[in-house]
């Protein structure tokens, strides 16, 4: 009988000691260059440790600047320090309705709520009842909080519920809202904004040296010693800096290069493997798109934002303008691209870019 293929893989020493450290869901023990931001979030939440009302915080900044990681890091430490808090993490891309968010909070408290057939007001009543007995302070992280404003059904009302939690639930609730949109607060109803944004924090893009420091820290945990060529980390950091100071891109490049080295069966990650990792857009599963959609994504990655006419020319396709517009509409609905109007000498034109 032939040897089990996975047993064979296990006996081969690759470059990775623990590749999970490079993945987005990993929560590192240390977050270089975010000590100030961590401290500020912790100060806002500190009253909850003794049963008091925490301050609500709105965290704003570009993708890959450590917003979510810092919030999760502080919540982890707070829940380890005090049994009085109940951390609840919600990504509003996945749960974007008032009913869904209140349901998630209830289920975190151990309260079973049917997904259908129960009114939102009844969930609110159940939450108030449970919280009055639990005597715990929920800290709700609403990642991608701006998604609640995109609905035509007024889902942002849940922000009003949480902002006036003392009246609704009879207990103080802390909210950490995380968004890439600098316009988010200006779009909020003033009644919500005054209570929800008790403290606003801005996360700046990482500088090239800061990205190098982050990669060095993660590389110590994820790779065996002497498995990275000298140019690998500087190259990953430079690429991520060029793409807007996004640490996720830097980590993804390093992970992809390491995976390439393992597939090729080599003992060291090289510059060539890093450069190959640049080829595909970051954070986009290209397999679920058709050829024309892939082509649009690759052109926008390579060229940045383009006018609609410039994009059509760059695609060099025989498809009609209308067909291409249909592809663009689908990509925009999926949140892959975004469009905006620009005033020019010849009037308005449409600008298209990756989101």
Report the C-alpha gap between 352 and 308 in whole angstroms: 7
pLDDT of residue 345: 56
pLDDT in tens, 296-311: 888 888 777 888 888 8
pLDDT of residue 111: 85
Work out the angle at residue 144's Cα, subtended by the Cα atoms of residues 327 and 237, and round it to the nearest 5 degrees: 80
pLDDT in tens, 179-232: 988 889 888 888 888 888 889 999 999 999 999 999 999 999 999 999 999 999
pLDDT of residue 157: 87
Of 140, 180, 144, 183, the residue nearest 163 (C-alpha): 140
Which domains are assigned to the chain? Answer: 12-21+206-277 (1.10.8.60), 35-202 (3.40.50.300), 286-354 (1.10.10.10)
**For residue 86, with 0-12 CB atoms within 10 Å meaning exposed, 13-18 middle and 19 or more buried, which class applies?**
buried
Report the C-alpha gap between 20 and 259 in whole angstroms: 12
pLDDT of residue 71: 97
The string of DSSP letters for 184-224 reads HHHHS-HHHHHHH-SEEEEPPPPPHHHHHHHHHHHHHHHB-
Dihedral angle sign, alpha carbons of residues 216, 222, 228, 232 = negative
Which ranges of the chain have pLDDT less than 50? none
**For residue 117, with 0-12 CB atoms within 10 Å meaning exposed, 13-18 middle and 19 or more buried, which class applies?**
exposed
pLDDT of residue 127: 84
Structural tokens at position 22: 């490079």
pLDDT of residue 126: 85
């Amino acid at each position: 009988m032939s040897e089990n293929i996975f047993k064979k893989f296990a006996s081969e020493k690759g470059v990775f000691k623990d590749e999970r450290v490079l993945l987005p869901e990993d929560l590192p023990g240390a977050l270089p260059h975010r000590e100030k931001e961590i401290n500020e979030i912790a100060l806002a939440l500190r009253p909850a440790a003794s049963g008091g009302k925490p301050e609500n915080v709105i965290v704003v900044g570009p993708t890959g600047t450590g917003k979510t990681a810092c919030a999760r890091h502080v919540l982890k430490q707070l829940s380890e320090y005090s049994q009085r808090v109940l951390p609840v993490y919600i990504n509003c891309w996945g749960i974007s309705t008032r009913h869904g968010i209140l349901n998630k909070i209830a289920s975190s408290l151990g309260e079973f709520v049917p997904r259908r057939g129960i009114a939102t007001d009844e969930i609110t009543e159940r939450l108030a009842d449970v919280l009055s007995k639990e005597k715990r302070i929920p800290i709700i992280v609403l990642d991608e909080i701006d998604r609640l404003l995109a609905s035509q059904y007024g889902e942002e009302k849940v922000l009003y519920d949480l902002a006036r939690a003392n009246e609704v639930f009879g207990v103080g609730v802390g909210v950490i809202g995380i968004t890439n949109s600098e316009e988010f607060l200006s779009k909020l109803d003033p009644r919500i904004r005054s209570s929800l944004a008790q403290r606003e924090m801005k996360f700046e893009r990482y500088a090239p040296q800061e990205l190098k420091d982050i990669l060095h820290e993660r590389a110590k945990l994820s790779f065996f010693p002497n498995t990275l060529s000298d140019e690998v980390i500087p190259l990953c950091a430079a690429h991520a800096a060029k793409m807007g100071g996004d640490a996720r891109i830097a980590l993804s490049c390093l992970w992809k290069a390491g995976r390439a080295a393992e597939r090729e069966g080599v003992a060291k990650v090289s510059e060539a493997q890093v450069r190959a990792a640049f080829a595909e857009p970051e954070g986009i599963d290209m397999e679920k798109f058709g050829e024309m959609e892939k082509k649009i994504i690759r052109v926008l990655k390579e060229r940045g934002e383009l006018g609609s006419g410039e994009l059509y020319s760059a695609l060099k396709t025989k498809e009609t303008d209308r067909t291409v517009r249909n592809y663009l509409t689908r990509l925009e609905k999926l949140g892959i691209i975004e469009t905006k109007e620009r005033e020019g000498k010849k009037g308005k034109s449409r600008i298209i870019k990756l989101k």
